[in-house]
Amino acid sequence: MKFLGECDTSMKQAESEAHGLAPSQGDMSAEDFERFGHAVIDWINRYFANIEGRPVLAQIQPGELRAQLPTAPPAQGEAMEAILADVDRLIMPALTHWNHPSFFAYFATSTSAPGIFGELLSAAFDTKAMLWRTSPASTELEEVALDWLRQMMGLPAEFQGIIYDTASVSSMHAIAAARESLDLRIREDGMSGRADLPLLRVYASDQSHSSIEKALITLGMGQRSLRAIPSDAEFRMDAGVLARAIEEDRRNNILPCCVVATVGTTSTTSIDPVPAIADICERERIWLHVDAAYAGSAAIVPEMRHILDGCERADSFVTNPHKWLLTPFDLSALYCRRMDILRRAFTLVPEYLRTPEAETVRNGSDYGIQLGRRFRALKLWMILRYFGHEGLAARIREHCRLARLFASWVEASDDWELLAPVPFSLVCFRAVTSQREGETKAARNTHLDTLNEAIMHNLNASGAAFLSHTRLNNALSLRLAIGNIRTTESHIAHVWQLLNEQKSLLTSSATML
């Protein structure tokens, strides 16, 4: 695939004019911008059309790309044509293709055409939405687009939204707001060297995402602030244990700060019992944050709205349109019913940022650690308009159907087993073999771990598909996550066939795994 293909006759005609080189001052000429702009869009179009011919997982060794790149920067500008040719030659082989329809690892995601246009325009505008006046469009469109998304998910109007880059950062801000709500003067006096401060506690299930623990590290609360609440057989937080943990902590002068419930955990997409957790938080007056980074998007499907039952009682709630809402990375939406507290935690306005309209508008920099903020709302607004609520819901519904279909093949086979329920578009499963004579349970588990790891490794190394794994009840589980806009039934049928081939190969008498 070449950036400047056959249509590039003007290039050939004017070879000696060094087209594509930067002028001595200013930016690229308008003519070159148009020419290379069209070439890049054409190239992206062909990239999507031919993506299935590429290996999903980059087939290179660590350091291989670096070794092909000059160690020093170019003193003189280089021709755009040469730069784009190197994207083909050097960058492409080093890419893992997240937009490949057979990308099933982690949480599969997708960009989409309106999202790409949104990113392109946002790069052209290059706004820094720190204050309303530095980008009224960004500030107001963010409020509108997030309110549309809130309505689509069926969350109450008291929730106001704000965009951050990732769920990790959204949750960090939510926990900072929870801490601020305790009125401990931490903003002013910090936490270190304070004998008057008890240990603050944050509760989350043992299935919660590592970003919660990282937030505690970042906020100076420390890993010991986290109390992991055990989950039940279906990987959901045990609300009874949570209630008892809070009681015990209070008896020991530990101050509960926040409970994090997860809707759609990372390993299995389990759903914590949010209504029961909300009861506890209300009774105990503890901030409830819901991490629905992946699964929140599913609530836009009317028959799946119930997954957010209880979330209307949360203090804050995060979902990531960059996971399952066709939005190019990055865009995470934090909803908060107590925006004043989030603001109180972070606002700090030096003289040079004072504006007369500050009392009547939202200034984005008041709500987080960043000053400048990207115009992310533009791509979300364009996506919501282009696909519409029903169009987006139809795609999520189809991903869930494909996951259920794949799970039904696993269930019907003696060679495989499901390791967790399938409430969304993720299937946790593993290959199984019949117990060998005299084999202990532990030895069988080790044997199955080795087998499944080998199946995953071989499949990923082939480039035909990309799966990832987790550990469930101390067993290695393969994870097949469906979330790409181009994934169809034929792709999951193909990966099923490849998995079965690998299993037969590895358990045949020749290899005897």
Closest to ligand PLP by CB, 131 vs 145, is: 145
| Contact pattern for ligand PLP over residues 245 through 274, marking x by CB under 6 A | -----------------x-xxx--------
Residues 11-18: contacts with CB within 8 Å, 24+ apart? Answer: 11/35, 11/81, 18/79
Closest to ligand PLP by CB, 131 vs 242, is: 242
Closest to ligand PLP by CB, 238 vs 291, is: 291
Contact (CB, 8 A) for 52 and 100: yes
Rounded distance between C-alpha atoms, residue 354 and residue 338, angstroms: 24
Closest to ligand PLP by CB, 146 vs 293, is: 293
Task: Centre a 10 Å sphere on the Cβ of residue 113 and count the other Cβ atoms it contains.
Answer: 15
Shortest Å, Cβ 88 to ligand PLP? 29
Residue choice 127, 211, 270, 319 for contact with ligand PLP (CB under 6 A) = 211
Q: Measured at the alpha carbon of residue 93, what is the angle toward residues 88 and 94, in degrees to the nearest 5?
A: 115
Closest to ligand PLP by CB, 160 vs 320, is: 320
Rounded distance between C-alpha atoms, residue 304 and residue 295, angstroms: 10
Closest to ligand PLP by CB, 19 vs 373, is: 373
Shortest Å, Cβ 21 to ligand PLP? 39
Only one of the segments 67-75, 289-297, 343-351, 352-360 lies at the binding site for ligand PLP (rule: CB under 6 A); that segment is: 289-297
- Contact call for residue 107 and ligand PLP (CB under 6 A): yes
Closest to ligand PLP by CB, 320 vs 460, is: 320
Closest to ligand PLP by CB, 39 vs 169, is: 169
Task: Centre a 10 Å sphere on the Cβ of residue 350 and count the other Cβ atoms it contains.
Answer: 7
Only one of the segments 110-118, 195-203, 286-294, 458-466 lies at the binding site for ligand PLP (rule: CB under 6 A); that segment is: 286-294
Cα dihedral 33, 51, 401, 453, rounded to 10, equals -130
Residues 6+ apart with CB under 8 A from 153: 296, 297, 299, 300, 305, 308, 319
Token duo for residue 152? 């689509």
- Contact call for residue 294 and ligand PLP (CB under 6 A): yes
Residue choice 35, 97, 100, 209 for contact with ligand PLP (CB under 6 A) = 209
CA 183 → CA 178, 215, 298, 345, distances in Å?
10, 19, 36, 10
Strand order in the sheet with 255-262: 160-164, 332-336, 316-319, 287-291, 255-262, 200-205, 226-229
Shortest Å, Cβ 327 to ligand PLP? 11
Closest to ligand PLP by CB, 161 vs 264, is: 264
Shortest Å, Cβ 439 to ligand PLP? 35
Only one of the segments 25-33, 109-117, 288-296, 390-398 lies at the binding site for ligand PLP (rule: CB under 6 A); that segment is: 288-296
Token pair 């282009």: residue: 386
Look at residues 115, 110, 123, 137 and name the one whose alpha carbon lies nearest to residue 37.
123
Which residues ranging from 129 to 188 are in contact with ligand PLP (CB under 6 A)? 166-168
| Contact pattern for ligand PLP over residues 326 through 345, marking x by CB under 6 A | ------x-------------
Residues 6+ apart with CB under 8 A from 323: 107, 109, 293, 294, 297, 483
Indicate the residue type of 183: D
Rounded distance between C-alpha atoms, residue 111 and residue 47, angstroms: 13
Shortest Å, Cβ 218 to ligand PLP? 12
Q: How far is CA 121 from the centre of its chain?
A: 22
Shortest Å, Cβ 294 to ligand PLP? 5
Residue choice 320, 365, 487, 502 for contact with ligand PLP (CB under 6 A) = 320
Shortest Å, Cβ 50 to ligand PLP? 28
Token duo for residue 362? 């939202």
Number of residues in contact with ligand PLP under rule CB under 6 A:
15
Rounded distance between C-alpha atoms, residue 269 and residue 278, angstroms: 20
Closest to ligand PLP by CB, 168 vs 487, is: 168
CA 306 → CA 161, 203, 277, 400, 432, distances in Å?
21, 24, 16, 15, 34
Shortest Å, Cβ 167 to ligand PLP? 4
Shortest Å, Cβ 307 to ligand PLP? 13
Q: SS3 for 466?
A: strand
Closest to ligand PLP by CB, 4 vs 422, is: 422
Shortest Å, Cβ 140 to ligand PLP? 24
- Provide the binding-site residues for ligand PLP, judged by CB under 6 A: 107, 166-168, 209, 211, 262, 264-266, 291, 293-294, 320, 332
